Amino acid sequence: MKRIQRTTGIRRTEGMLAVSLLALSASATAAAEVECPIRIGGLAPLSAPGTVVGGEAMRDAMLIAEQDLNDAGGVLGCEVKVVIADTEGLPEKAAAVMEKLIAQDGVVAVGGGYHSSVGVASKDVADARGVPVVFAETWNDTITGDKQKYIFRIAPLSSWASSTIWKHSLLVPGIRKAVILTENTDYGIPAAQETTEGLKTGNVETVTFSVDIGTQDYAGIVERIKAENPDMIIVLATGEAGYNFTQQAADAGIGPMDIPFHTGQVSLESKAYWENVPDGNYAFVQRIGVPENLFNEKAKNFSATYKAKTGKAGVESYAMEAYDSIAILAQAIDEAKSTDGDEIVEALENIDHDGTLGRIYFPYGTGRDPAADGKGDEWWHQWPDPALTVIQYQEEGQNSVDSPIVWPDAYKTGEAIYVGR
């Protein structure tokens, strides 16, 4: 009774204390239901025939995300542990890797992922298990186009990425014929088809040559390409295959210093690119994300840590995507106050994440179907705002982050050089 008769200010303080104790009790109950550490899976190709340099970049980025999260206090009172799994870039291994992460390693969500074929092959396992995935660098449209509840993506759709290449290619003076070298994968096949259809709008003829992932000897294909007498060559092959073909084409007189040449995205790894393709100047490379001078604070901080960890002069777009995929999942778990898959999905569908790539959100999902706005199914759980650019190496040994952006005009920092024109 004495407490009831105390002053209003004291009663108010007691009321606030009671609320705080209730909140603390609820938090303790929630924490008691969470097993520490909170394990998040990370997919990366760390062995051939996968894109090893890309996988290593993604691994380093995901481990930096782990460290940053734990330095900030972890999630739900627990440390975060990122469990890295080597996919080798192979669809036949992807499903088994995903199953192991969930069943044996006990992950509650999965980030990363480089090859589209890995995403296509592994997503069904995660969805059936009710484990949320935020894919970082898998472009095939069907990955989100299947509208699976637990599958999200922050990489661009393949159709968007392909349009970047063909729209820039149509700017090549006098282009009438292009040769496409693609890989027989869930990335390469649709990308070649999309690029072919796009170039047709500019009355550009295309001839496509397909190879298996991991191919190293291109001598026969190079001679067949030379016989086509193309005005441009477009490489839609991932990993070290892109290096091998580009240099072998250069040795035969149809490389980046001879005719306009779009090489693979792995060429953003500048040190490895110049070691493997010494005759690779003037190559065009597609890049995801804004230029470094437009980085937000989070991107600047990550970039500095990444450069110090790896010794690189710049940070690749897929490293930034990998970092964000882990950070987004951690935020979703924190906001859900749970590691339950359904609750994480609800949090992801409502997330507003300040990532290294910019503001990341998912406008379509169980609450709003893409069809409501006339969008295709591929927009399901898809981040709609990735920046897509084309850079060009214009000095031997140049770093990709210092190379001029030549397309689109919104990010342009220099004019393209069209050799042989």
- What residues have CB less than 8 Å from 20, skipping those under 6 apart? none
Rg (CA), the chain: 24
151 with 165, same domain: the answer is no
pLDDT at 1 > cutoff 50: no
DSSP state string for 333-381: HHHHTS--HHHHHHHHHT--EEETTEEE----SSSS-GGGGT--GGGTT
Span 299-306, mean pLDDT? Answer: 97
Q: Note whether residue 3 is domain-resident.
A: no
Give the model's pLDDT for residue 29: 44
Q: Note whether residue 111 is domain-resident.
A: yes
CATH number for 46? 3.40.50.2300
Identify whether 408 is preceded by a cis peptide bond (ω within 30 of 0): yes
Q: Note whether residue 195 is domain-resident.
A: yes
Q: Note whether residue 50 is domain-resident.
A: yes
Span 199-220, mean pLDDT? Answer: 94
353 with 219, same domain: the answer is no
Give the model's pLDDT for residue 8: 33
Query: Residues 137-196: pLDDT tens digits?
Result: 999 999 999 999 999 999 999 999 999 999 999 999 999 999 999 999 999 999 999 999
Query: Residues 223-237: pLDDT tens digits?
Result: 999 999 999 999 998
Query: Residues 384-399: pLDDT tens digits?
Result: 999 999 999 999 999 9
Give the model's pLDDT for residue 242: 83
231 with 331, same domain: the answer is no
Kindly report the number of other CB atoms within 10 A of residue 408's CB atom.
Answer: 14
Query: Residues 311-351: pLDDT tens digits?
Result: 998 899 999 999 999 999 999 999 999 999 999 999 999 99
Question: Quick one: what percent of the chain has pLDDT higher than 70?
Answer: 92
**Could you tell me the residue range of the domain that residue 94 belongs to?**
38-157+296-379
- What residues have CB less than 8 Å from 169, skipping those under 6 apart? 175, 178, 195, 199, 204, 232, 234, 260, 262
Instruction: Give 3's pLDDT tier (boundaries 50, 70, 90).
Output: very low
Query: 336 is written with which tokens?
Result: 């859900």
Element (H, E) at 246: helix 240-251
Burial class (CB in 10 A: 0-12, 13-18, 19+), 33: exposed
Give the model's pLDDT for residue 421: 60
98 with 169, same domain: the answer is no
Give the model's pLDDT for residue 32: 45
Going by the DSSP 8-state scheme, the letter that residue 75 receives in this structure is B
Q: Which of 80, 81, 82, 119 is nearest to 97 (CA)?
A: 119
pLDDT at 10 > cutoff 70: no
Q: Coil, strand, or helix at residue 172? A: coil
What CA–CA distances, in Å, run from 90 to 42, 218, 230, 323? 15, 21, 32, 22
Please say whether the beta carbons of 280 and 274 come within 8 A. yes
Give the model's pLDDT for residue 418: 96
Q: Note whether residue 13 is domain-resident.
A: no
Query: 152 is written with which tokens?
Result: 């999200």
Please say whether the beta carbons of 118 and 89 come within 8 A. yes
305 with 170, same domain: the answer is no
Please say whether the beta carbons of 70 and 79 come within 8 A. yes
Query: Residues 114-124: pLDDT tens digits?
Result: 999 999 999 99
136 with 168, same domain: the answer is no
Question: Rounded to two decimals, what is the model's pTM?
Answer: 0.86
Identify whether 386 is preceded by a cis peptide bond (ω within 30 of 0): no
β-bridge mates for residue 407, sequence order: 390
Q: Note whether residue 364 is domain-resident.
A: yes
Give the model's pLDDT for residue 293: 84
Give the model's pLDDT for residue 20: 38
220 with 347, same domain: the answer is no
Domains of the chain: total: 2
214 with 346, same domain: the answer is no
399 with 279, same domain: the answer is yes
Q: Note whether residue 403 is domain-resident.
A: yes
143 with 280, same domain: the answer is no
Instruction: Give 40's pLDDT tier (boundaries 50, 70, 90).
Output: very high
Q: Note whether residue 2 is domain-resident.
A: no
